[in-house]
Amino acid sequence: MKLEADSLGHARSLLFVPGDRADLFDRAVRSGADAVVIDLEDAVTQDRKTAAREAARAWLDRRGSAIVWVNPQETEGFSADISAVGRLATAIMLPKCEDPGDVERVRAEARHPDPVIPLVETAAGLVNVETLCRAEGAVRAALGNVDLVTELGVAPDDDEALLHARSRLVIALAAAGPALSTG
């Protein structure tokens, strides 16, 4: 199944696969999930980042269709990720996205108009969630609750602590229009 960028707004299930597990990429696509996300950030140890990046690039270049979760902008892995997969990915999932300029930077560095999925994982990102959802090229913004609870100093299993953040994201997505709806 070829994942098309314009179908991302309607995807109901995303299957995350560690970038250094190329043996799972095809199986993930066959799983029936609406979209596959190749994770180059959280699911890959530092010593495996280069191998994961190359595995994702090779698979996407051959036949693959997936969203790629890149490393944060402030890391050296970010530019290497964008250089390797930016023109091949169906979309780029950008961690710690805090303002529309972050989305613009990804699209400029990738030299390809791939959509960007802003991952809201900081208080600053949450404050700017409405403008992130309306940024040109943004699609399917998502909440990164683990990093957010860490920054906020709340327990990861405290559902009420993130109720405001989740609600705010859903409202911002709905206000941004059907392309960003959560389905």
Q: What are the residues whose beta carbons fall under 8 Å from the beta carbon of 149, sequence distance 6 or more?
A: 155, 156, 158, 161, 162
Element (H, E) at 142: strand 142-143
Provide the pLDDT confidence category of residue 182 given band limits of 50, 70 and 90.
Answer: very low
Give yes or no for a contact between 91 and 65, defined as CB atoms under 8 angstroms apart: no
- Cα separation, 181 vs 8, in Å, equals 10
Q: Render pLDDT for 110-151 as a digit per residue (tens, 0 to 9).
A: 887 779 999 999 999 999 999 999 999 998 899 999 999 999
Q: Render pLDDT for 155-172 as a digit per residue (tens, 0 to 9).
A: 999 989 999 999 999 999
Burial readout 16-55 (b: 16 or more C-beta within 10 A, e: otherwise) = bbbbbbbeebeebbeeebbbbbbbbbebbeeebbeebbbb
